[in-house]
Amino acid sequence: MLVGSRYSWGLAMGWCVYMTPADSCVYNPSTRECRDLPGLDLFELDEMFIGFGYDPRSHDYKIVQGDDTGNGQVVIFSLRSGSWRMTPVQQENHLAVSEQGVYWNGALHWCVPAERRNKSETVIMSFDLSEEKFHQAWVTNDYKRGGSWMKLFSVSTDGVSVHKFVKIPAYTRSGKIVFQIDTNQMTLLNPEDDTYKDYPIQSNGEIESVIYLETLVSPYLD
């Protein structure tokens, strides 16, 4: 796990993307190689959604950006071509995605609030990196559309202030859950016996925690 500045996020293939209003880059924490990205000033950082993932059809890595205004446009950066391009998209049921997408199985995923039959619920929107289209997906054992939710665990938030920022960046192979609480603490929880261990973070500002696997592959795709 890598803990860094705000607007950074990771990819299981081993790279992280770092973005601020001033600059952005793709970074390999294992080799410390950094690839600067060409500037793009189309969306406000507080309004945009973004994601980074691998397109298995074209064997390319793509960064996807858009905003929650529902204007029907996203911009995509290809690491192979080294350039941004704009493409029209249609979001199912006009659901607006926001913040950072999670990459899995050739697609980016967002949790999106929705209203159905006067009832609030949360659905998962996915963006297929090969088709470059949005789809509505549900969590199932076989990851297929139209299925039902599968509950993996529930966690008590007793003792955690409602004013604190809480994020779950990782779920380990042994079944433990990693929590980021605000910008100063990581907590490893064992849901089997409700035991946990705190790991303080030394930080003077906003941070993001990201997951990556070590790799020697260059972000220049040489």
Q: What is the pLDDT of residue 57?
A: 94
Model confidence over 111-126: pLDDT tens digits?
A: 887 766 677 777 788 8
Q: The domain spanning residue 85 has which CATH number?
A: 2.110.10
pLDDT band, residue 199 (cuts 50/70/90)? confident
Which tens digit of pLDDT belongs to each residue from 29-49? 889 898 998 877 777 766 778
pLDDT surpassing 60 at residue 145: no
Domain annotation covers residue 133: yes
Q: Assess if residue 163 is contained within a domain.
A: no
Task: Write the single-letter amino acid at 138.
Answer: W
User: So what's the pLDDT on residue 141?
Assistant: 44
- The answer to the question of residue 39 being in a domain is yes
Task: Identify whether 170 is part of a domain.
Answer: no
Domain residue limits at 100? 2-150+205-210
Q: How far apart are CA 123 and CA 143, in angstroms?
A: 14
* Phi, psi for residue 94 in degrees, rounded to 5: 55, 35
Q: Return the pLDDT at 222.
A: 62
* 14 domain residue, yes or no: yes
Residue 191 lies in a domain: no
pLDDT of residue 5: 45
* 221 domain-assigned: no
Domain count for the chain: 1
The CA distance from 101 to 9, in Å, is 9
